Chains A and B, each alone.
Chain A
């Protein structure tokens, strides 16, 4: 069946609805980045378009990468899974040595003036890696041993990410959990794992005291000094009401919300577009999830379906955690809103993943037809 797809490679038969939604979100993201950042950008950078310009560059780069991935047969990607995983481990290890700190955490590697987050790369690679080994494991995935082995394989990467960046670590664990869960026939091990994961989280939170401070801030968001950012986000969301203040009219973006174009951009969307606008954005994400589910279902093989589910998990979890943070539903942690938040590495890999899913969609459709 690989041969069959190869024959039809010339004609694009991807998921137009998914692609359209993604670009819609990205363009809306550019609009919102401008709105959220122009005041502070003019103030601090002397150029109101500073962040938008950079993001447009990222989008162009990401689009190119995405089309590359769309053309690239995902099976070739699956074959490169192990070397990619090795590279990712190397980069993650490198962060500890040559990493640059941002907001108190070493998460970045700079080559010249271009920053790169190895943890984002690890996310991307792990989706491919897990889809590859779960697919290869076949009937092994029915056994406890197989499930545990797969988890053990990814732990070095997940562990290294988690040390410096708990939230990305949790997302990686979540993605892995969903891929393995989908791959396996078993149910019980996953309930056990969920329990274990919860316990592990508790211990980790107790150990890392600065995160406990965040929990106190979460519970007392109106008064706790560390609750400032979330408090500002809530003010913005509440000020939006049903229909919002209108585009560009957010006041909370005037340096009240720190880096409003970043992780907190959803609160500016709420303030300017109201519940209606925020609901539409959320609905677009749901639509995207649904299109991914369709693709996964029509994928030509199990690794393709697992890859698609990994991407779905990545997208879905980030979106959920981001919205949960800005609405103070969970303690504050910095996760960008997919396709909309300002940020290079994250967007480029997300677009690559959409490219992969498009390739799966092409092959799947061809296969079905």
Chain B
């Protein structure tokens, strides 16, 4: 019996050793990990093309969905086995931690070489995603740390056919017009508005757009700093936007449990006249309903005091592993990937806005409408500071509670302020 055990053990050890992998050496190969399922085919094609042109082999590996990807990146960082090129999907504070831990290469030098050639070819707002200004609150040395490969923004989309069915000739330019349009739509039996507000970030985006419109960005930042309270009348006004939307019957049923995928389905199948979604929706609508006739507008402002700014920035950004022996080759590849020609390929095949300014002329008309909004866009990644995520969570949940009629804006504001006070006391 013991002999059998011994044989089993030695077999196990042999198999164990056979399963060992070897440590990576600098070579003509670079490894890229990404999460963008839609673009995997295009990336593979471009990688092949790059190999033909330069002889460098780019291995593209896909890990989806994005939650699993984030986990893998964090785990790989802990084990110091990050690939040459990867993405950091989390908030800017996490990105700053990656940079300080030495996992992200500083690309400022490459970006600003040759009279800032690379930097100027890309949209400023796209670069802002992984750019840190001087004296930033994250404690990171100022510079550009990531390469945006596309741009996206979130705006309102309207179905031209359904609007004309309700007798609406032009899309609304103010919030009041929007409410009136919604009521006209209800009268002809059309649901006015759909959005994936089961996903808190999208709800937060919509609320933030109106917060900037009502009180201006400085006051919003001051609230994050703790200088202004959430019980301030301006914040109540922001929350009242949702009361208005609820009371005037604008929102589709079940909006607070609706994932964005389902809201895209709804709009594509013409179940609602307006939607709030990101520019990637062009790809989705095209697949589901190629005949869909729609246009793009920013969310109609409720106030004339401050401009309404939509959220727009890099859709996806790649960073280079600072500890990689193939750093320079990786940077060269990313430069190639964001050149106008490759950007045009990506834009054409995946229906996403390019990050290269030159490639803008190659995009479809509907994407062009999305692109127009980039001028009045902002993004949490560009702000001097962001709200504590524990506070944002309570804020967003509070909006959901308002929408289902469970709480009033005043109640929500008080609850949020309590959490804010607690977090500020912690020294966060």
Chain A bound to chain B: no
